[in-house]
A and B are shown apart, each in its own frame.
Chain A
Amino acid sequence: MIWNPNKECMSRELMRELQGKRLQKLVQYVYHNVPFYRNKMQEMNVSPEDIVSIDDIVKLPFTTKQDLRDNYPYGLQAAPASEIVRVHASSGTTGNPTIVGYTRKDLAVWSEVMTRCLTAFGVTRDDTFSVSYGYGLFTGGLGAHYGVENLGATVIPASTGNTEKHIRLIRDLNITGIACTPSYALYLAETLDKMGIDKSQIGLRVGAFGAEPWTENMRKEIESRLGLKGYNIYGLSEIMGPGVSYECQEQNGSHINEDHFYPEIINPDTLEQLPYGEQGELVFTTLTKEGMPLLRYRTKDLCTLMDDECPCGRTSVRMSRIVGRSDDMLIIRGINVFPSQVESVILDMPEFEPQYMLVVDRVNNLDTLQVQVEVRKDYFSDDIGSMLAMKKRLSDKLKSVLSIAADVRLMEPGSIERAQGKGKHVIDKRKLQ
């Protein structure tokens, strides 16, 4: 099923025309309402009149996560505060969180694109659908919620936590669809086993999984253990939240809602736009957003774009699975982790050398994080108790900064490989492709 064939199946030519018009309007809007963009464009000698078609997008400046932090909290907001009806925030790392304000129209667009995703997954108004992303500042919960309502299905705002109660609701209310992270889906499957409930006793048939990278193997395992079909949904709070792109029944890449979010692939080093089919960093321009519109936002996600015809009938460009990041951000159990966070903790503790290595792995479908750190010569002790206490001090600090537990490994001085030039601080053993 296709929710909005007008837009989802528009001819490529008409889509580009529409995108061109929307881009022109957007550039006028940000130029006159966001000093950050006006200054950047003036520095680059670009005026809104230079933007005539969608191809002119390459003349426009990029936006980075750092720009969002530097302009915390509302510096990039284009709409007046009176027009903002909701605010979401993405997890702060070492700096400020990212604040995103939405106007009423933004929320309507969000619901629309979410509804397109759910429809592509086969969800209809006859379904009872559980939203098990966290509700709150995170965009996952409320974003999916209003999409389900807009579609006309019954929404169960389960959020996360209290998994046993949730499973009883899935069984007793005959919940047929669920949106959550793939790791939570596996956790559900485990809890199901623990409770002695067989998948034949529950009626789940569709899963909308996203917010963290996952693999085909995870898909197979989730599908066989929960007895449903799992679809990928992609989004990021800076651009909107869940619903930026979605898989169709073909499951050959995710269709981008490109009448609202214009995708480009760039070379992250030269910043040049790359043709379809080439791998690079994904960049989005929010063509219709009012609250916090962004020009050429660098997602740091690496993937390819495909514009060949999809048998499902949709004409929109598709993005491949995310194959990596162009920065060093790690997503571990759905939480964003930057090596710099670990570094700042270690540099604060005189017991340790400023040498460390993060080893990320996936054991039984659960991400694990090991932090290897070298103990300074003067801090070794013949007393095992005090060595273990040192280890615990670091574990506790890491837990409070990262929000996830790390397994600390004390190492001998000089044992962590020294990098030539730019330090290598991460070994990611997870097979995500």
Chain B
Amino acid sequence: MIIRQLSIFLENRTGRINEVARILAENGINMQAFSMAETADFGLLRLIVPDVDKAVEVLRSSDIAVMVTDVLCVNCPNVPGSLSAILEKLAANNIFIEYMYAYSDGDTANVVIRPDNVEAAAGILA
């Protein structure tokens, strides 16, 4: 399923990620999953939340540099081999993965994938 992910640009500065968490907390927005990518001088926080539009609005009003990116969210059984099966299908169809992260939820796991072609990838896994 294609879902919308928040991508937030963060300067490397102590406490900056805290501000994002605080703004979301104050507005009652729960973070379901996130990953943090870093370079020597800035970071990208990637975030899955239930109410994307509200999150964008409150973050932008606090001058946070937030973008919305389409990603693929795949729910699969939380057992060995299920991720491998998904990735093999994508590789077999020449889909390149830019980044991915996952979180488990008891019996199932959710894998967030950013492929080079979101729609094609969604079609393959449908």
Contact = CB atoms under 8 A, between A and B. Distances in A.
A binds B: yes
A61 interface: no
B44 A384 contact: yes
Interface stretch (B7-15, B23-31, B81-89): B7-15
A383 B44 CA distance: 9
B98 interface: yes
A414 B5 CA distance: 23
Contacts of A414: 63
A384 B67 contact: no
A412 B46 contact: no
B98 A412 contact: no
Contacts of B42: 387, 410
Interface string A352-377: 00000000000000000000000101
Contact of A380 (B9, B63, B98, B114): B9
Contact of A413 (B7, B10, B46, B65): B65
Interface residues of A, number: 17
Chain B binding surface, main DSSP class = strand
A381 B67 contact: yes
A25 interface: no
Interface residues of B, number: 18
A409 interface: yes
B46 to A, nearest CB: 7
B69 interface: yes
B64 interface: yes
B44 A382 contact: yes
B39 A411 contact: no
Contacts of B44: 382, 384, 387
A377 B65 contact: yes
Given A380-B9, A382-B44, A382-B69, A388 B39 contact: yes
Contacts of B65: 375, 377, 380, 412-413
A252 interface: no
Nearest to B6: A382
Interface of B: 5, 7, 9-11, 37, 39, 41-42, 44, 46, 63-65, 67, 69, 98, 114
7 smallest beta-carbon distances between A and B, as pairs: A382-B7, A382-B69, A414-B63, A412-B65, A380-B9, A380-B65, A380-B67
